[in-house]
Amino acid sequence: MGISLEKVSYVYEQGTAMQTSALQEVDLEIPDNQFIGLIGHTGSGKSTLVQLLNGLLRPTSGRVLYNGKDIHADGFDKKALRANVGLVFQYPEHQLFEVDVLSDVMYGPRNLGLDEAACKKRAKEALANVGIKEKYFKTSPFDLSGGQKRRAAIAGVLAMNPRILILDEPTAGLDPRGRDEILGLISEMKKNLSMTIILVSHSMDDVARYVERIVVMGHGRKIYDDTPKNVFRHYRELENLGLSAPQITYIMNTLRESGMDVETDALTVEEAAAEIMRKLK
């Protein structure tokens, strides 16, 4: 179950002088309950891919299947799809608009046609899941701190009870502590709600630390789809794609090149330290 893409291509402004091919024959399986990192340079096709996943765009060719059913076939319930595949845009706090935090988070479930009590229940659960305390429920969302605003905005999507949550650069503009908090939160959500998370990110350090699988897009194609360790072995190829590897990958490769016999596939500073200690003993 989950989403599958079968040979999906997407062309913007087809048939005009501005025709641009954004995606070419991409096959992709998004199963339930997986933490996936989606990386790619600007213009690599990752935003197009994300919009295809929840039916905001229709493929020029190929099929997008949700639980085995073509989402663009006649009679497919797109509204249910969008509730199941939640999308948190970049700087989601710019989309807060209600008078208080609770009402803002209730907006999504309301649009699903749920009654007031059910909306409230879902909103409260979502806010609890992003760690916003009850004392803020009646506060204007605009009076929250930057990090809290972002969490409230994520709660707004979470309240739709999605099975798959796509977050586009959720840490953009945050300081290191804010980054750790949001990523820790997402990781917790993944565990507690056993949902699939797709983290779209430019930060290789973040991706390396948290996800179990990485999909690398480049020039409209899927280039790699593997575990973080395996993907970052290709760090030179990633550079040619306008990407990079985590800082730690470079450090370990420098050590190895200078004659220290260390494995280079550490993904965190802690793993790297353990590996170096092992070699020095």
Partner 1 sequence: MIKISKLIHDYIQRDEEGNPSGTIRAIDDVSLDVSPGQFIAILGHNGSGKSTLAKHLNALLFPTEGAVWVNGMDSRDQSLLWDIRQTAGMVFQNPDNQIIGQVVEEDVGFGPENMGVPTEKIWQRVEESLKTVGMYEYRKKSPNRLSGGQKQRVSIAGVIAMHPKCIIMDEPTAMLDPSGRADVIKAARKLNLEENITIILITHYMEEAIQADRVFVMDNGKIAMQGSPREVFSQVERMQELHLDVPQVTLLGHLLRKKGLEIPEGILTREELSDVLKKLKKGNRQ
Nearer to partner 1, 60 or 253 (CB): 253
CB of 278 to partner 1, least distance (A): 11
Q: Of 215, 179, 219, which Cα lies nearest the Cα of 197?
A: 215
Backbone angles phi, psi at 194, to 5 degrees: 30, 60
Rg (CA), the chain: 20
Q: How far apart are CA 107 and CA 104, in angstroms?
A: 5
CB of 157 to partner 1, least distance (A): 21
User: Are 151 and 132 a contacting pair, CB within 8 Å?
Assistant: yes
CB of 252 to partner 1, least distance (A): 9
Q: How far apart are CA 244 and CA 77, in angstroms?
A: 40
Nearer to partner 1, 62 or 178 (CB): 178
Query: Are β-strands 35-40 and 61-66 bridged in parallel, bridged antiparallel, or unpaired?
Result: unpaired
Nearer to partner 1, 50 or 126 (CB): 50
Reading the block at residue 7, the tokens are 């040979």
CB of 219 to partner 1, least distance (A): 12
Query: Which helix (DSSP H) or strand (DSSP E) does residue 30 occupy?
Result: strand 20-31
Nearer to partner 1, 164 or 241 (CB): 241
Helices (H) and strands (E) in the chain, counts: 11, 10
CB of 279 to partner 1, least distance (A): 9
Q: Which residues bind partner 1 (CB under 8 A)?
A: 40-43, 145-147, 169, 172-179, 202, 204-205, 239, 242-244, 246-248, 250-251, 254-255, 258-260, 269-270, 272-273, 276-277, 280
Backbone angles phi, psi at 278, to 5 degrees: -60, -40
CB of 274 to partner 1, least distance (A): 9
